Amino acid sequence: MSRLRERFPCVLRQLRNERGWSQERLAERADLNRSYVGEIERGVASPSLTTAGKLARALDVELSALVARCEHE
């Protein structure tokens, strides 16, 4: 498994928690289903680039910064 795929769920959860948001709030801001966000955070689902971009925008970070954080943590 690639480092990005392995780390993305944890980094996504960390960023969401840093903002004090529920999965539901993140899902609403990203225009995604809450259960899908949960699946991504558990590593059950892998987001497409489009979905990763929606999550990054919702969290107010650049997609490249989100990916970089996954690679360096």
Per-position b or e across 29-66, b if 16+ CB within 10 A of its CB:
bbebeeebbbebbeeeeebeeebbebbbebbeeeeeeb
**Domain range enclosing 44:** 3-72
What are the tens digits of pLDDT across the range 36-60? 999 999 999 999 999 999 999 999 9
Give the predicted TM-score (pTM) of the model: 0.91
Say if residue 30's pLDDT is above 80. Answer: yes
Domain tally, the chain: 1
CATH of the domain at 30: 1.10.260.40
Which residue is it, tokens 């948001």? Answer: 21
